[in-house]
Amino acid sequence: MIIRATFKNILSFYEETSISFIASKSSSNENQVLRAQKRDDFSILKSGIIYGATASGKSNIIKAIGILKKIVLGSWPRNLIEPFKLQDDTSIPSKIELDFKYDQKYYNYGIIFNNIQGIIEEWLYEINLRTKKKIFTREKNAPTPFSFGALKLDSENQEFLKFLGQGTPDKKSFLFEYHDRNGKKVDAISNAYLWFRDILTIVFPDSKYQGFSFKFDEDILFKEEFKRYLEYFNTGIVDISREKTKEENVDIPKEIIYSIIEVLNPGKKSFLSTPEGDWYIFECPSRGKVDIFKQKTIHEDKNRNKHTFDMREESDGSLKLLDFIPMLINLEKGNSVFLIDEIDRSLHPQLSYKILSTFFSNLSKAKDSQLIASTHERNLLDLKFIRQDEIWFVEKSPDGASHLTSLTEYKAREDIKKLYLIGKYGKIPSFVTPDKSNWYDDVILKI
């Protein structure tokens, strides 16, 4: 679970800015809080809703965390790394830092970096409310670039850590190098890497959750849960199927098909979504053989007869729900963190509300699940439904930088939907007619 995220000089964030998911002492919707069990534990919110006008920077919170995840897992997303552009000093590096919970422990991990030098600083601490225990620090320009805390290791493993540090490339995280070189004995480093790889999932508006296509025919329990949610959301889809097809019938350029087949190893699968909206699965059951399947949906008519549809025939909202259903299944199981950019995209307003309420209804004190989303959907602004400390607003200042404010900083009232629309919690879009009058404000103020 994410406890706190901090950004500096990345995307629309200039000065150091943080968003916190530490719960207040309020007893409102207490099931939406993982309460501290010990004096030094954190009480963590199980959800967070981020609001802001278009181009305010709310999506950049999720994008920045996405950049950090890519770097942790071994890639260097050069095209995504953009420091704040509206500044005079372009030499200032960027910073992204996360505090998070994994396997009953809390960690602080962060990097300072730029596209030219790569990672300038990197650190990992085990933390609680009162203490901070160093696991490692990395400082490129220091006399000793890598420093390790008081780890209980034998001389062989101590030498391995030093050797690994010396050989870590500038544009690779030490978390990745440790995992990639099969490092052992330092659970904190392994845990931090595994949290980014296995627990944290980031969904952008154009993301396609390919995993359900693979699991649907392999995991009976997953299939049953998936079909239960299809019925619950009343999509009209009653089942998912796939039909084997020939290579010549696949509406994809041949060179792309051949490139997929060439790298597909026995026992592996690959997923591809075409611009037209068709979904294909490539499977390699044995060496020299690749099977191609086309993903389909199944609907029933009034006489309960089944009919298959191509994925391109489904609405954007139905396809988005196909992405969200595996998320809800994983969150219900626990030990999952999902960050969703624009959760309301292509969905009816009531569906966004239903997704959140479904998540809340399945929460358990024993499960570490967390859902954080950006949205414009004002129907979620209901203090009987969402806690004040779960709501954040993003606003751009006159210098063009994004700033974050929690609803707890305001004296929130029951009519926060209206107050949000009239700009109480930050700027709203302003549309000026040819006669210079602001018709949007005139309409909103009458609500």
Q: Mean pLDDT of all residues in the chain?
A: 86
Shared domain for 380 and 420, answered yes or no, is: no
Shared domain for 223 and 195, answered yes or no, is: no
Confidence of residue 213 (pLDDT cuts 50, 70, 90): low
Mapped onto helix, strand or coil, the DSSP state of residue 292 is: strand
Is the pLDDT assigned to residue 210 strictly greater than 60?
A: no
Rounded Cα distance between 143 and 158, Å, is 19
Shared domain for 142 and 231, answered yes or no, is: no
Calculate Rg over the CA atoms of the chain: 24
Confidence of residue 287 (pLDDT cuts 50, 70, 90): confident
Whether 425 is in a domain gets the answer yes
Query: What residues contact 111, with CB distance under 8 A and at least 6 apart?
Result: 68, 71, 95, 96, 97, 119, 121, 122, 123, 173
Shared domain for 237 and 101, answered yes or no, is: no
Shared domain for 316 and 436, answered yes or no, is: no
Shared domain for 127 and 159, answered yes or no, is: yes
Whether 334 is in a domain gets the answer no
Is the pLDDT assigned to residue 370 strictly greater than 90?
A: yes
Whether 8 is in a domain gets the answer yes
Cβ atoms 426, 393 nearer than 8 A:
yes
Query: What residues contact 183, with CB distance under 8 A and at least 6 apart?
Result: 160, 161, 164, 177, 189, 190
Which of 50-59, 262-271, 290-299, 437-446 shows the lowest per-residue confidence on average (mean pLDDT)?
A: 437-446
Cβ atoms 226, 219 nearer than 8 A:
no
Averaged over 22-38, what is the pLDDT?
92
Report the pLDDT value the prediction gives residue 63, as an integer from 0 to 100. 95
Rounded Cα distance between 393 and 382, Å, is 15
Shared domain for 56 and 163, answered yes or no, is: yes
Report the pLDDT value the prediction gives residue 276, as an integer from 0 to 100. 82
Confidence of residue 260 (pLDDT cuts 50, 70, 90): confident
Rounded Cα distance between 265 and 289, Å, is 10
Shared domain for 408 and 423, answered yes or no, is: no
Whether 329 is in a domain gets the answer no
Phi, psi of 219 (to 5 degrees): -115, 105
Whether 331 is in a domain gets the answer no
Rounded Cα distance between 395 and 89, Å, is 23
Shared domain for 160 and 250, answered yes or no, is: no
Output the CA–CA distances (angstroms, integers) from residue 284 to 210, 231, 252, 348, 416, in the order listed: 16, 32, 18, 39, 54
Confidence of residue 433 (pLDDT cuts 50, 70, 90): very low
Phi-psi region of 310 (alpha: psi -120 to 50; beta: other; left: phi over 0): beta
Is the pLDDT assigned to residue 87 strictly greater than 80?
A: yes
- Report which DSSP code applies to 197: I
Is the pLDDT assigned to residue 420 strictly greater than 70?
A: no
Report the pLDDT value the prediction gives residue 421, as an integer from 0 to 100. 57
Shared domain for 99 and 154, answered yes or no, is: yes
Q: What pLDDT, in 10s, does the model give residues 323-350?
A: 888 889 889 888 899 999 988 876 777 7
Instruction: Tell me how many domains the chain contains.
Output: 3
Among 241, 207, 214, 216, which residue's Cα sits nearest to residue 346?
207
Averaged over 94-118, what is the pLDDT?
96
Which of 104-113, 177-186, 195-204, 284-293 shows the lowest per-residue confidence on average (mean pLDDT)?
A: 284-293
Whether 330 is in a domain gets the answer no
Out of 32-36, 218-222, 255-259, the most confident range is 32-36
Whether 111 is in a domain gets the answer yes
Shared domain for 171 and 219, answered yes or no, is: no
Averaged over 99-124, what is the pLDDT?
96
Which of 37-51, 88-102, 229-243, 429-443 shows the lowest per-residue confidence on average (mean pLDDT)?
A: 429-443
Rounded Cα distance between 67 and 62, Å, is 9
Cβ atoms 208, 311 nearer than 8 A:
no
Question: Would strands 402-406 and 17-20 be described as parallel, antiparallel, or unpaired?
Answer: unpaired
Rounded Cα distance between 14 and 243, Å, is 50
Q: Which domain holds residue 194?
A: 2-204+341-412
Report the pLDDT value the prediction gives residue 445, as an integer from 0 to 100. 38
Query: Which residue type sits at 266?
Result: P
Report the pLDDT value the prediction gives residue 49, as an integer from 0 to 100. 94
Report the pLDDT value the prediction gives residue 73, as an integer from 0 to 100. 96
Report the pLDDT value the prediction gives residue 418, as an integer from 0 to 100. 62
Whether 333 is in a domain gets the answer no
Output the CA–CA distances (angstroms, integers) from residue 389 to 97, 128, 274, in the order listed: 21, 20, 41
- Give the CATH number of the domain where residue 74 resides: 3.40.50
Shared domain for 230 and 304, answered yes or no, is: yes
Is the pLDDT assigned to residue 438 strictly greater than 70?
A: no
Rounded Cα distance between 48 and 97, Å, is 18
Confidence of residue 251 (pLDDT cuts 50, 70, 90): confident
